[in-house]
Structure 1
Amino acid sequence: MIKPGKYWSLASLALLRLSESDLRALHSIVSEMSPGSFVELVRDIEDEIDNSLALTVNRSIDHSSFSSNMHDIYHDLDQMRKKELRIPVQMFADMLAENLLKLSPKNVNRVPLFDSRRGFQAWITKLVTIFSVQEVFHAAMRIKHEHEKTTKSDWRLR
């Protein structure tokens, strides 16, 4: 049995399950270093890991809030398409793209094409990187308003 205090670093290496060539390369690097430079290198690597972890955590927090916002946008638009407009996804995507171009003609070449294989949610995510959420919703509301004007019932209550 190995004494725990003396070989913690070797136990950590063993947990990594490095290949024999990696272990030999590590031994070669470490054996050429002075103890002071070895400790300095390890501390520098620890700092890099801490900085990387902080960035990763911040990005995941930003991404998770972005993902939930994207889900809300997608859900709202898809519900409007299904329940109020009752039109196919391709038709809604074409209408939305057309209305976005009317609102922001400077982005003519930047509107992504809808690809049914990738899905509506992926397309909305691309749209929101080019247009603001407000612009996308405004374009959708214009579609809804135009649809309501054209689908007035001929039946009137008396």
Structure 2
Amino acid sequence: MKHALILLSAALIAAPALAQTPPPPPPPGAPAAAVPDMPPREGRMGREGRMFGSVSPEGRTILWAAMRPADARGDRAAIKAARDRVSDILSADRLDVPALRRAMDEERKLVDAMQAKRQAAMLDAFQKLTPADRKAFVADARQGRDRLEMGMKRWRERRTDPATGAPPPAL
């Protein structure tokens, strides 16, 4: 049960990044609605493909604010530094296992702390959303997850030999 809750929480946090459903087009002649502080979506869908596409503009503003905490840059820098320490230890001629274990423990603590902050921010945001926006968020998240799973399935199919099911030989 605990693992299921962790996976569900991770999916709800990660899914918005994967849910790139474009919003419905504005009526002819109407200006496109702008969402403050929302980066453009590049790629196949251009600027119209946005995260939280089915959520109201007000709901998107709430969700974007929750996903952009002020201290995230510092968290990412600390995690990068911890990962660099792991790499430094691994690249030494003699592997110092106790030092590696400590460095990996520190990196995990930093990642866990950042994830806890993200979940707290998202919990706060979810409480501010209307029921319709929460339902739209879940639908977008599920659609994004399904698209990701389908893309991974196609990638695995391209990477396997149809006759044997085995991956192609290494180069």
TM-score above 0.5, yes or no? no
TM range (shorter): 0.3 to 0.5
Normalised by the length of structure 2, the TM-score is 0.32
* Larger RCO of the pair (alpha carbons < 8 Å, separation 6+): 2
Which entry has the higher C-alpha Rg, 1 or 2? Answer: 1
TM-score by length of structure 1 reads 0.34
Higher percent of residues as helix? 1
